A and B are shown apart, each in its own frame.
Chain A
Amino acid sequence: GAGVSQTPSNKVTEKGKYVELRCDPISGHTALYWYRQSLGQGPEFLIYFQGTGAADDSGLPNDRFFAVRPEGSVSTLKIQRTERGDSAVYLCASSQPLGGGKADTQYFGPGTRLTVL
């Protein structure tokens, strides 16, 4: 595709429910990142995939959060037992393969706005 796409664009759920957020990266980008942006703040790193594997999940706030990328392309961020504090915009970004320790440009999607009531 032309850019990173994310679905849904908006998700409203009730406290305690389970949600899945989807990210479709730019074709050929093997690196995929999830970030969370709360109101008035910059994006906060959650997890990084290189191919199918999660190479760095140090940003996941707790074990209610999980992400997968089974075929090395589309990724799904899963949140169990949602809490009101999970309300935020969830951003996905992708980039070209890293080489020589260089962090290449990340291209961001439009985000999914999650509201937990």
Chain B
Amino acid sequence: AQSVSQHNHHVILSEAASLELGCNYSYGGTVNLFWYVQYPGQHLQLLLKYFSGDPLVKGIKGFEAEFIKSKFSFNLRKPSVQWSDTAEYFCAVGSGNTGKLIFGQGTTLQVKP
């Protein structure tokens, strides 16, 4: 069965620190990979996605993620976080047939000003 694992449940950083959130997935077929973010009081929105091509993808607000097929990983990075990045971050893998998403359990990021 497909599964997604996010290693960090709660991360606390100071502003300007670098961020890396781990995501590993288990799926035997072609994967589509996503990072979604949920800001306090708001609904889920897409940060970035990988379907094919360049394994380094760039998203909104300075976020990027790297797909490493050999490690079944899709880690999210940002060189310098801001207080406004405080949110919950979800990694997800999409099934190629139906598009249904399998989500990780999420990582809560708290950025201290």
Contacts and interface: CB of A to CB of B under 8 A. Distances in A.
Given A102-B51, A108-B44, A110-B43, A43 B99 contact: no
A109 B94 contact: no
Contacts of B90: 42-43
A55 B105 CA distance: 25
Contact of A40 (B34, B36, B98, B105): B105
A41 B106 contact: yes
B101 A105 contact: no
A87 B36 CA distance: 23
A55 B98 CA distance: 8
A103 B32 contact: yes
A105 to B, nearest CB: 5
B71 interface: no
Interface of B: 4, 30, 32, 34, 36, 42-46, 49, 51, 90, 92, 94-106
